[in-house]
A and B are shown apart, each in its own frame.
Chain A
């Protein structure tokens, strides 16, 4: 353990930082003493306000170890929901259930692969939301109720995290927080999401891309002293006990070397940056994209089955009309066995091989169809983006 480089293993660094421990004690102990029957004065108000912005999300999944539910939270009064990018969103029907039990079909506005976040949109107005610009939940509620009328248009209440408000400064260790999430899917129908409490233990980079945790995001995260990253928690809201939104609960991450689960949240500033990017429709920042984003086979005009297993057999799910794949005679249910000169046995391997081939080069593939191997050449990729195919729905294959 001790020879691990602390700069890449945040957990390790925390463990050996004694000043941090003292710091934590200094913050936590007085807090514990003042706690009365509630953790903090007015905490039930804060929990109420926070819960009203949190959304239970239901989509694809339902397999062992792959939940069909997660969490998100409203970031604008007109139904923008920030959530975690995951296979749950890999569905034609993404259901969002608000705190009051209302159910909406959400549309996927975009995904941010680097931060593993996604933006959903509900067709609704006047919703309470967690401001991304440093405003408190209370301000979010007030703006939802009065903002639009005052400004005469939806722009008035839209929150765009361009400014650097209070909520975007990194939180100090010792900050007492609540985590609200749809953990384990236990809150059904109009039941309120689960609330947990704890402390921000440290702010550290999630230097995990080539480290113990496999995640494309390598920015700062808040380490938390309580178990928040449970099944279904991803996309949940972290809020401090004063009602200041702090961040988004991350996806479950487990150290591949130590087997330890990480408890963390992505700071609000990152959520705000992701929201801005996704709302404006700008492409994701490209610095980390190339080797992170799996190759999108839609650019060649076909879709593989959802990649849900460790080695999902690369069957063709759909072929787009008037695409290179269609021109080459690729068909649904073809099983890809070779890309270029390499044999492939999984969806991941296909993406990996395709990513190696230069833009503009034709792609040779071999597929098995009706028990026979068929070769095809997918001609040069078109210069313009093709219209998007409908996302494959996992629900149909069940």
Chain B
């Protein structure tokens, strides 16, 4: 109401000022006259670089406007978003879609208004992914590397401030990056802005979820928050954007319809008297503790990023999804040590579901512009959805939209099948070669028996029985079970493995000494099969190697350290079939179990064993 009154009284004044016979009109006429004269006189002298820069800006503004969407959440307000794939996946803020619910209307700069369905939610990071429907292709933005952004860089915020875009033309504001790697405290445990970009380009209520672009028009962030304090909820030149690198890390999980969680180290840290960061408390159940991190150790770096302040640690942790394994360097008594740490989830699954549904608010959101905490509970009956998106939604605990989890799992399965091609892998597999010390090994895998001959002895496993028998070979954490899973994956596909779900993306590399930033991400499948849990890393790198199995982490029991198998492949076609690895490295509990150079790998043509479990038999447990 108040807005309306201001508009109706202000507009005539503006019109009068802007009128040709109004005072501003006169000024404008004067300025234009002078400007034209000057321009005419000096047209020939204009530096081509200036014209090129001008042309580039025109092109960039047009391009970034096209990829920006206005999101309407009915009487619950709305916000902005940005399309990042040609088939219409778009980023926005959690706090924008939460009041909107499962479906929303989205306006594009070209005047189209289309339906969109909620895909993935990240309440902690204040991110959501929605999918636009009703068009074959959409204009989209490319993600840039936000770690390359420097203070002083020009940037654009684009979006729908104050829901002004009634004609669907987004507002474009120009500014500079005021700060990088900023940390903004959460409201309770959600809406935490870590490692974010701070800009002086205008971010107002309604800009939430909209894009932040660099000068080239590439996406460096998603705007969602601003400092206001005592001046009311209007821009004071201090806005914050979730970095594109954080978005990239979570994109896989979000596309997969997951309700994603953020990571915790299982330890708290504090700044010591010398200004360094020390472990002030650590859970004995945490992976960090099991890998050797202790009270009073100095944290040197995490995921390849130096940690000099508590904020720096929070900044790195905040851009990493729960479950990722990352290198951590700590110092004790002057000696630095590097370990790989598996990050735990911040929330219990049920807790996160409650937060996402709005049944439980984690404290009122203090900073974010947009539309406050939800007024009423989110009703989710599928019947209420518009017809255009009704088939794109499937509820399931732990997911914001399980339909998209199926899509991603099927995509990975198809890629794996394509890589195997017409090879019949249902027979007995024989692998042999040498260990790092030159001594030989031999592995035989069939439906009836799995055997491994090592210099230290022979181990056997019945693949038909539960796989969580005593993990063999001894000290491997369950290597033989992992190899059984490997064979079944390739010969019968991921559908054959009990309950298998898409689990987002993660870096597959298991060795320390690497930086997470910029590391290629693999698709991740999580499978509960015959009493064990397996996480399967599948390459999504490029056409030639997509679908290639990069590794398997297998937990014989939830409390034990998993057996971590990583496959390496020969370059080019030297090795023959694309699915055959050249080497296999096995780690357990941070220690190398063995490095296997595979010299021979043969899958015998299948015998027609009637006992062989068919894909449909195993699949019966699915969806339970």
Contacts and interface: CB of A to CB of B under 8 A. Distances in A.
Interface of A: 18, 21-22, 25-26, 29, 33-39, 43-44, 46-47, 51, 65, 101, 103, 178, 183-184, 186-198, 226-228, 230-231, 261
Given A192-B179, A227-B237, A230-B227, A38 B153 contact: yes
A65 B182 contact: no
A22 B179 contact: no
Contact of A183 (B176, B181, B238): B238
Contact of B27 (A21, A189, A190): A21
Contacts of A198: 200
Interface in B216-240: 216, 227, 229-231, 235-238
B301 interface: no
B151 A192 contact: yes
B311 A22 contact: no
Interface residues of B, number: 43
B154 A38 contact: yes
Given A188-B309, A195-B176, A230-B227, 4 more contacts: A21-B27, A22-B31, A36-B215, A230-B238
29 contacts: A26-B31, A26-B34, A33-B50, A33-B53, A34-B53, A35-B154, A38-B152, A44-B150, A46-B152, A51-B151, A101-B275, A103-B275, A186-B184, A186-B227, A186-B238, A187-B182, A194-B179, A194-B198, A195-B177, A196-B175, A197-B176, A197-B200, A198-B200, A226-B200, A227-B235, A227-B238, A230-B229, A230-B236, A231-B229
B421 interface: no
B182 A191 contact: yes
Given A36-B53, A184-B238, A186-B184, A101 B308 contact: yes
B23 interface: yes
Q: Please provide the 7 A-B residue pairs with the shortest distance between their CB atoms, ordered closest to farther.
A: A189-B309, A37-B215, A227-B237, A196-B200, A227-B236, A194-B178, A184-B227
B237 A195 contact: no
Contacts of B216: 37
A230 B229 CA distance: 9
Interface in B150-197: 150-154, 175-179, 181-184
Contact of B154 (A39, A226, A227): A39
Nearest to A47: B152
B30 interface: yes
B494 to A, nearest CB: 44
Contacts of B183: 188
B176 A230 contact: no
A183 B154 contact: no
Majority secondary structure of chain B interface residues (helix, strand, loop or mixed): mixed
Contacts of A227: 235-238
B229 A184 contact: yes
Tell me if A's interface is mostly helix, strand, loop or mixed: mixed
A271 to B, nearest CB: 22
Given A195-B176, A228-B237, A34 B229 contact: no
Contacts, number: 114
A190 to B, nearest CB: 6
Contacts of A38: 152-154
Given A191-B179, A230-B236, A183 B227 contact: yes
Contacts of A51: 151
B599 interface: no
Contacts of A184: 227, 229, 238
Nearest to B183: A188
B275 A261 contact: no
Given A33-B53, A191-B311, A261 B231 contact: yes
A234 to B, nearest CB: 14
A228 B236 CA distance: 8
Interface in B304-323: 308-312
Nearest to B229: A231
Contact of B153 (A37, A65, A189, A192): A37
A231 B227 CA distance: 10
B198 A186 contact: yes
A195 B199 CA distance: 8
Nearest to B216: A37
B309 A33 contact: no
B17 to A, nearest CB: 11
Contacts of B53: 33-36
Nearest to A21: B27
A195 B178 CA distance: 4
Contacts of B229: 184, 230-231
B54 interface: yes
A39 B176 contact: yes
Contacts of A33: 50, 53-54
B586 to A, nearest CB: 41
Interface in B409-458: none
Contacts of A192: 151, 179
B235 A195 contact: no
Given A21-B27, A37-B216, A195-B152, A65 B230 contact: yes
Contact of A34 (B50, B151, B230, B238): B50
A230 B235 CA distance: 11
A191 B181 contact: yes
A68 B146 CA distance: 31
Interface centre among B150, B231, B236, B275 (most CB of A within 10 A): B236
Contacts of B236: 227, 230
Contacts of A196: 175-176, 178, 200, 237
B176 A194 contact: no
B308 A189 contact: yes
- Which of A65, A196, A198, A226 has the most chain B CB atoms inside 10 A of its CB? A196
A184 B237 CA distance: 11
A140 to B, nearest CB: 19
B238 A18 contact: no
